[in-house]
């Protein structure tokens, strides 16, 4: 299982939200590059970057941060937040993202998303499923839908997508453990899925649980910033 540290960006700064609430924001570092360089120095290979301004605005905003980190580290970056047009996809890839992580468009405009998969290559995309009570939330967790998480994952797995993020919003930023029951159910029901767990990781034992149930990766954010898990521990775990 691959450990994927997270950097969430608002106004060009590394922040974390609690349960997706923009009013419950903590700024951890005003220079996200410093954080990314620390991750790389610890031997981590990937980075999960979320443009929270972009997610709220419906278009990519913090591409310069992506460009800086991609240009000055060797991290494989998946970038999400505000990717709502072909131009946004191009901005993400031209700024150095290895993967574009898409959530809202895959749910609200599936035909457009399918065109992106055809043009840029299905291997370049990750579906981001943000979930509350097994229903998908979109637009930076600000808009509820009636779309069932299992249905959307199965739909895009058949289309050829392999990598999927799943964030349980009720767990995110609380450091109270991951939604292992939900993830187990997804892995059992969606054949061939590479599921990356996101939200709630608070300690190494949480990561061990996720590895044991078959997650292909786990995103770790607040636990790093709050000192619950050290980069050295993550490096050893990831070895």
Quickly list DSSP for 168-219: ETTTTTS-S---HHHHHHHHHHSTT-EEEEES---SHHHHHHHHHHT-SEEE
* CA–CA separation, 235 and 3 (whole Å): 9
The pLDDT value given to residue 173: 56
**146 catalytically annotated:** no
**51 catalytically annotated:** no
The CATH class of the 2-238 domain is: alpha beta
Other Cβ atoms within 10 Å of 237 Cβ, number: 16
Instruction: Spot the catalytic one: 51, 53, 88, 130.
Output: 130
Domain chopping of the chain, boundaries:
2-238
Burial class (CB in 10 A: 0-12, 13-18, 19+), 224: buried
The pLDDT value given to residue 179: 84
Instruction: Spot the catalytic one: 8, 78, 168, 206.
Output: 8
Q: For every one of its 239 residues, what pLDDT tens digit does the chain have, with 9 covering 90 and above?
A: 999 999 999 999 999 776 667 777 788 889 999 999 999 999 999 999 999 999 888 899 999 999 999 999 999 999 999 899 999 999 999 999 999 999 889 999 999 999 999 999 999 999 999 888 889 988 766 778 899 999 999 999 999 999 999 988 776 655 667 889 999 999 999 999 999 998 888 899 999 999 999 999 999 988 999 899 999 999 888 87
Which residue from 35, 33, 14 is spatially nearest to 25, judged by alpha carbons?
Answer: 14
Phi, psi for residue 54 in degrees, rounded to 5: -65, -40
């Amino acid at each position: 299982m691959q450990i994927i540290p997270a950097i969430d960006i608002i106004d060009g700064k590394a922040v974390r939200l609690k349960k997706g609430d923009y009013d419950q924001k903590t700024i951890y570092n005003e220079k996200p590059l410093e954080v990314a360089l620390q991750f790389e120095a610890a031997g981590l290979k990937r980075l999960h970057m979320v443009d929270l301004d972009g997610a709220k605005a419906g278009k990519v905003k913090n591409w310069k941060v992506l460009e800086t980190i991609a240009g000055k580290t060797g991290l494989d970056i998946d970038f999400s937040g505000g990717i709502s047009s072909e131009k946004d996809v191009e901005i993400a890839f031209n700024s150095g993202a290895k993967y574009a992580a898409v959530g809202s468009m895959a749910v609200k405009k599936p035909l457009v998303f399918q065109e992106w998969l055809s043009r840029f290559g299905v291997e370049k995309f990750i579906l981001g499923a943000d979930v509350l009570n097994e229903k998908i939330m979109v637009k930076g967790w600000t808009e509820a839908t009636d779309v069932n998480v299992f249905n959307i994952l199965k739909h895009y797995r058949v289309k050829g997508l392999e990598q999927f993020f799943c964030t349980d919003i009720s767990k995110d930023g609380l450091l109270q453990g991951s939604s292992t029951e939900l993830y187990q159910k997804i892995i059992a029901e969606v054949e061939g899925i590479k599921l990356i767990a996101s939200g709630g990781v608070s300690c190494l034992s949480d990561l061990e649980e996720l590895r044991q149930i078959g997650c292909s990766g786990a995103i770790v954010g607040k636990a790093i910033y709050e000192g619950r898990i050290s980069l050295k521990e993550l490096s050893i775990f990831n070895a």
